[in-house]
Chain A
Amino acid sequence: MITTILISYSAAIIMDRIPLKYSLEGLPKKERKQLRAIIKKKKRFVLAIYVIINIGILLTLKYFNFFASSSIGLLGWLGINVSAPVIKIALPLGISYYTLQSISYVVDVLRGKYKAEKNIFKIALFISFFPQMHEGPFGRYDALMPQMTSGEQIKINNLYNGIAQMFWGMFKIFMVANRAAIISDAVFKNHESYGGFTVIIGVIAYTIQLYAEFSGYIDVAAGVSKIFGIGLAKNFDMPFLALNVGDFWRRWHISLGGWFRDYIFYPISTSRALMKIVKNLPAFLANLLTITIPLFFVWFLTGLWHGASSKYIVYGLYYFVLMIIFNLISPLVNRVLSKNNITSENRLIKGLRLTKTLILVGIGMLMFRAENLLVFRQMLGSVFSRGSEFQLFSAIEPNDFIIFILSFIVILLSVIMKLKDIDIESRFEALSSYKKYWICFCVFCIVVIFGAYGLGYIPPDPIYGGF
């Protein structure tokens, strides 16, 4: 992380100083343009060096073994036998998060969005801001830095609101996610035995686990930050109400999607190389390629970001294929609907779209949780066959299941209230300190007494913490 901080700070400072070497004043327009191109080229060169070093660290520490074994496998298939050393280094906590976050800072300096920060400690603070180190969300320099350096004192209201959000996050993790994990583990760890509805139960349980855990950790991070008067980027927006997979990813891990959109999709889709490729193609094909090529890189890298395994790459490409199909089919579907005077607001159509999205996301979740692609294929196939009978209460104790269901209902209620435009956060903020205190204390007691942690429970590893 220290290396990342040092190179991010240096790269941004160097980029900012490059134009100072050249004086544009009094130059003819043509020469000024040429000089600007040189400056841009030099800045890009610095960026390239910076990205190579920064991504190089990430690739070496996180992906070296995966790429080495894949390359050896490929070469072996071609009849060339080689060997490579296995690197055993403890992966720095949050490396995938702070690497991308630091890149966004340097790229934004290059784009002239803001000036390079002269104080290295401020850059260090931005890159190593502890609440978001573990599972995100990805913060942007221009959004975080003014809040971090405003010198605002800790306010009692921020303290209550932050603690309340932290406890809400813990409620999701310890009451819901850790219990859903008991059910999903029981199914996935004995996947050979089960089929049909049991696999679906496993996928639903895993989906609940992933959402409750990930959004729970984000709530804890946001709560801690709120105590210091810092607002983090939004990472979830009721993702399971999405009507298509694109919409799902605009609501799920929003900060990651935003990063890939701003730093992968837009640069590739507006790049000269792509423009050259599509220049002489028919409009339909040109439009298709302008979306498909950047989207391919976005989803390939999204998959790879999740983990150094072919499973995650296929997981990313699964969404890439779905989005391309959606882009191709949706104009046809819309045309058919409008011919029959059916609007997109029609409840039946909305319900069908919601169901379709949930099924597709469910398949994605199955791939994400399955040990490898072979297991995924076997489990997906077994949905249509009958396996052993699943004994729910031998996997999870009945009273644990009741607490799980009740807690899950609480989360559902919070979603319903949001849908009805009831702003729980504002309502909580409007309460007196006295009431806020007792609400926080009640949630704390509920989590401490009924939470699934410690003695009697096997704690699941934080899923997104591993990325």
Chain B
Amino acid sequence: MKRLKIILTVSSCFLITAIIYMYICLIVSPKSIHDSGGTKYYRGMGFLAEPENSIDVMVYGNSDVYAGFVPAKLYDEFGYTSYASGTVLQTIGDINNLLKKTLRTQAPKVAILEVDCLYEKRNKALDDSNFLLAPFVFHVRWKELKFRDFYTIPNRSKKYDITKGFVHSDEINKYDAGDYMGNKNQKPHPIPRRNLKHLKNFIKICRTNNIKILFLELPSASSWNYAKHNYMNYLSKDLNIPFIDLNVKDSNFNIDFAKDFRDKGDHMNVFGAEKATTYVGRYLKEKYSSILSDRRNVKEYAHWQEVVDHFKKVL
């Protein structure tokens, strides 16, 4: 009898603890993109709130994507609708899940994969999507809690994002490009075997759904070098997928190390991102104009003008 009492007390203790802790997780989780941490929490999946089959170009990758690709700019200059589905330290495994989610409501014509993510290894501790880590990851949220936070269940679908995934920053922190990219003849640095497997799966899904793939590397001085470039060059030829690396001189992309970075070479700021987007847009127009349409004068896409206006207003 005594034993049963102990078991009951201990289990009820654990149960109550779990309920309270889960409720704390629920309270502190961001409920909107505008909450602290909301950008990280929802940004990659904002496409779920887009009208069905309205996105023609999906850009997948890690933080380089949301910092360096501006969907508003691509629409403004070329009329292509796109979404920058990048989050911090996103891996190709996560991207495959995003791709599957994308295909439920969208039918993109082109999938751009920012290849820096192929070198990311899965780190569960830093996984912002882990609900149980919310009090640690979003613990600054106590400063801004509203009444709705106590009863709203965080829902990542249906979070409309007017920036289409782009995270604006006009901060300028110049990069000293002393040994940028290193030696041209560096030995290729292969991606982890697990990521290669995920990449092949990504390619398979895209090809099954008739989506053209483009490998892209946006300028990132601190995470990219010739060793990685050489490997991706080899891989792109092997897989028959075009590869643009804006870090190498051959790309004719002019990086301004004094003005284009927000954090000393790691991520681009809005000025660098605009330039990179225009460059990618030109490439898309040149290579994929047969499958991509200019949506600027199409009635169903009129809301994209608001996206452009919002971007220009923030700029």
Contact = CB atoms under 8 A, between A and B. Distances in A.
Does B bind A? yes
Interface of A: 397, 399-400, 434, 437, 441, 445, 448-451, 453-457
A394 B143 CA distance: 16
A284 B17 CA distance: 67
Interface in B120-171: 135-140, 142-143
Contact of B142 (A441, A449, A455, A457): A449
Nearest first, the 5 A-B pairs at minimum CB distance are A456-B140, A448-B135, A399-B143, A449-B142, A449-B135
Contact of A437 (B13, B36, B136): B13
29 contacts: A397-B143, A399-B142, A399-B143, A434-B9, A434-B13, A437-B13, A441-B17, A441-B20, A445-B20, A445-B135, A448-B136, A448-B139, A449-B24, A449-B28, A449-B135, A449-B139, A449-B142, A450-B139, A450-B142, A451-B139, A453-B139, A454-B136, A454-B139, A455-B37, A455-B137, A455-B138, A455-B140, A456-B36, A457-B140
Contacts of B9: 434
B219 to A, nearest CB: 26
Nearest to A442: B20
B143 A455 contact: no
B109 to A, nearest CB: 37
A455 B17 CA distance: 25
Contacts of B28: 449
A437 to B, nearest CB: 6
Given A399-B143, A434-B9, A456-B36, 15 more contacts: A399-B142, A441-B17, A445-B20, A448-B135, A448-B139, A449-B28, A449-B135, A449-B142, A451-B139, A454-B136, A454-B137, A455-B37, A455-B137, A455-B138, A457-B140
Interface string B1-26: 00000000100010001001100100
Contact of A445 (B13, B24, B143): B24
Which of A437, A445, A454, A455 has the most chain B CB within a 10 Å cutoff? A455
A453 B138 CA distance: 11
A455 B139 contact: yes
A445 B27 CA distance: 13
A399 B28 CA distance: 16
B19 to A, nearest CB: 12
A457 B135 CA distance: 15
Contacts of A455: 37, 137-140
Contacts, number: 37
Interface in B26-64: 28, 36-37
A457 B140 CA distance: 9
A454 B138 CA distance: 9
A109 B275 CA distance: 73
B180 to A, nearest CB: 26
Contacts of A445: 20-21, 24, 135
A457 B28 CA distance: 17
Contacts of B37: 455
A456 B141 CA distance: 10
Nearest to A441: B17
A6 B37 CA distance: 51
A90 B233 CA distance: 39
Contacts of A448: 24, 135-136, 139
A400 B13 CA distance: 32
A434 B14 CA distance: 11
A449 B20 CA distance: 13
Contacts of A453: 139
Contacts of B143: 397, 399-400
Contacts of B138: 455
A448 B139 CA distance: 7
Which of A437, A441, A449, A451 has the most chain B CB within a 10 Å cutoff? A449
A399 B142 CA distance: 9
B40 to A, nearest CB: 9
A70 B138 CA distance: 48
Nearest to B27: A449
B277 to A, nearest CB: 28
Contacts of A434: 9, 13
A4 B21 CA distance: 45
Contacts of A437: 13
A144 B51 CA distance: 69
A387 B138 CA distance: 38
Which of B9, B24, B139 has the most chain A CB within a 10 Å cutoff? B139
B97 to A, nearest CB: 24
A441 B16 CA distance: 11
A457 B24 CA distance: 21
A455 B133 CA distance: 13
Contacts of A400: 143
Interface in B186-201: none
Contacts of A450: 139, 142
Contacts of A457: 140
A455 B141 CA distance: 10
A380 B296 CA distance: 66
B212 to A, nearest CB: 37
Nearest to A457: B140
A146 to B, nearest CB: 33
